[in-house]
Amino acid sequence: MNDVPNPSRTPRAQWNSRTGFILAAAGSAVGLGNIWKFPYITGENGGGAFVLVYLACILVVGVPVMMAEVMLGRASRSSAVDAYRKLSDPKSKWVAFGILAVVGAFLLLSYYSTVAGWALHYTYLSLTNAIAGIDAGQAEGLFGDLTGTPLIGVGWQLAFLAITMCVVAAGVSHGIERWARIMMPGLFVLILILLGKAVTMPGWGEAMGFLFGMNWDKLTAAGVLEALGHSFFTLSLGMGSMITYGSYLRSQDDLASASLATAGADTLVALAASMVLFPIVFTFGMAPGAGPGLLFVTLPTALAQMTGGAVLSVIFFVMLVFAALTSAIAILEVIAAYVVDHHGISRVKSCVGATIVVALFGVPATASGGWFNAVDYFVSNWALPLGGLGVALFVAWRMDGALRRKEFETGSALAKFYSAWLWTLKYPVPISIAVVFLHAIGVLSWIGSLMG
């Protein structure tokens, strides 16, 4: 049904309801970023104050950009590249932002699937009771075996990519929406169970103090910029994901509230994940800022010493797999929808082809740790903020104003915020992103050194 790239003859696929969209979009947003990255960067930046800055970034920058991205998709009924063309002119240079998004999606999925493969591996280890009773050194050893034996990592990565491919190939409502309806509620239930356990742990109080106490002296300028950069990553912005998902949103649905709900769900899961991890970390007297190893070394070590730890670790890693899977689906959909829309190739063929190309990039990334960091740096610090800047500038300054207002206000409980949203998108958003870039190219530290 998606074979013919002609919306006038074949109606574009749609979510079955606004809830379907919210679950799929929240599935995209809630991912490794929330459960793996957010807790450890919070740990590295000293907790409380960082959390507050992060929340401000989500509200002031993330939410307005998300509304703009969803709008770009729905108003054009197109995936990332064609959305810009349809809403300006066919030869428009804006299209470069769409192409960047598709290229970024290839790169992101190539290493996202590596970490997701680790999550599958740890689910397997938990199920086979292989992490019962291990100490810190043995946990290091298990993780070292995984990262040091390329074949194991690659095997799990390919398994993960294959599952992702099958869901996306099944289509928007039969694949993506159906699985989001199963995995997202599942994820919420699992995290609530873990939270129930965390509350009872001796380290709970200390963890709350760490997460919500205001220790401003630990917060650096780099930490603030990291919070801003992470708000793009965690909300899946700047990668065409929300454009593509927005293109399947029904025209009568309230786009602004749906975006806000998506961002709200994402934030709640990030906080909940921290409220699960830090009590465990503190109960066992471990370091909060343990870096990327927090989930795969620190956590298993602690779980191995807890009563019920075996069950808890299955719950935890299954939850992590759900989070990663619904995000990977959204990343693959960016590519698949582009190929389907633009080149008129069938959805199944597009998915298979895109997955093969991702694997060609991704397997070397898994096999050699170094590439992984370089690609993550490029995607998180350049591609996503640049993509988000493109969306904000296009919607605020280029898109037809009447259409923009209609898209925002139709059926919306937030209609009265239209002007505030537009103003935010015109000025604070591009300025904040520009600051991130100035920092990345070293201009800010240069000015800082001039000032003494």
Size of the site for ligand PHE (CB under 6 A): 14
Q: Which is nearer to ligand PHE, 33 or 362 (CB)?
A: 33
Of the candidate residues 122, 143, 179, 233, the single one contacting ligand PHE (CB under 6 A): 233
Q: Which is nearer to ligand PHE, 236 or 355 (CB)?
A: 236
Q: Which is nearer to ligand PHE, 164 or 234 (CB)?
A: 234
Structure tokens that stand for 209 in this block: 């103090």
Of the candidate residues 57, 239, 271, 422, the single one contacting ligand PHE (CB under 6 A): 239
- The verdict on 331 binding ligand PHE (CB under 6 A) reads yes
Q: How far is CA 44 from the centre of its chain?
A: 20
Of the candidate residues 42, 78, 126, 241, the single one contacting ligand PHE (CB under 6 A): 241
Least CB distance to ligand PHE at residue 358 (A) = 13
Spell out, one character per residue from 19 to 58, where the chain touches ligand PHE: x when CB under 6 A holds, - when not.
---------xx-xxxx------------------------
Q: Which is nearer to ligand PHE, 143 or 233 (CB)?
A: 233
Q: Which is nearer to ligand PHE, 116 or 139 (CB)?
A: 116
Least CB distance to ligand PHE at residue 256 (A) = 20
Q: Which is nearer to ligand PHE, 375 or 422 (CB)?
A: 375
- The verdict on 234 binding ligand PHE (CB under 6 A) reads yes
Spell out, one character per residue from 280 to 319, where the chain touches ligand PHE: x when CB under 6 A holds, - when not.
----------------------------------------
Least CB distance to ligand PHE at residue 86 (A) = 22
Per the CB < 8 A criterion, the answer to whether 293 and 98 are in contact is: no
Least CB distance to ligand PHE at residue 346 (A) = 23
Q: Which is nearer to ligand PHE, 67 or 131 (CB)?
A: 67
Task: Please give the residue ranges that form the binding site for ligand PHE (CB under 6 A).
Answer: 28-29, 31-34, 233-234, 236, 239, 241, 327, 330-331
